[in-house]
Amino acid sequence: MATIEECRSALEKLSDNMAGAEGDVRAAAALDRSLSCRITDLNVTFVGRLTDGRIEVLDTVQGPPPEKAQIRLTMTGDDLVAMVNGELNFAKAWGSGRVKLEAGLRDLLRLRKLL
């Protein structure tokens, strides 16, 4: 099972990957939205913002997020680490329910370019 530190490191790596992207992927990530990433097996949520193509983690809280973020991810720590390392395909994991992504319709349409 992935640790909180490994999950935070995976989010930082994902942020770096998104910031270095170009074209449609860069445009899709260039949102300014509140973001939460709930890690179910650790019962922890990373709370922050997606801004200028980067994920900025502002806080780590026990349990579910205190407020509903505009973009919400839910998964296990192992799945987060595997996705960021390229070992788990996000679209397949999302389609099978292993990963949950919730957002407004416009944001979902824009974020699908990241898939």
pLDDT tens digits, one per residue of 101-115: 999 999 888 877 665
40 backbone φψ class: left, alpha, beta (φ>0; ψ -120 to 50)? alpha
- Statement: residue 3 has pLDDT above 90: yes
pLDDT at position 42 is: 98
Pairing of strands 54-62, 44-51: antiparallel
Q: What is the 3-state secondary structure (H, E, C) of 27-86?
A: HHHCCEEEEEEEECCCCEEEEEEEECCEEEEEEEEECCCCCCCCEEEEECHHHHHHHHCC
- Statement: residue 24 has pLDDT above 90: no
pTM for the full model? 0.90
When pLDDT is cut at 50, 70 and 90, the band that residue 22 belongs to is confident
DSSP 20: T
Which one is predicted more confidently, 48 or 109?
Answer: 48
Angle at 20 between CA 9 and CA 100, to 5 degrees: 55
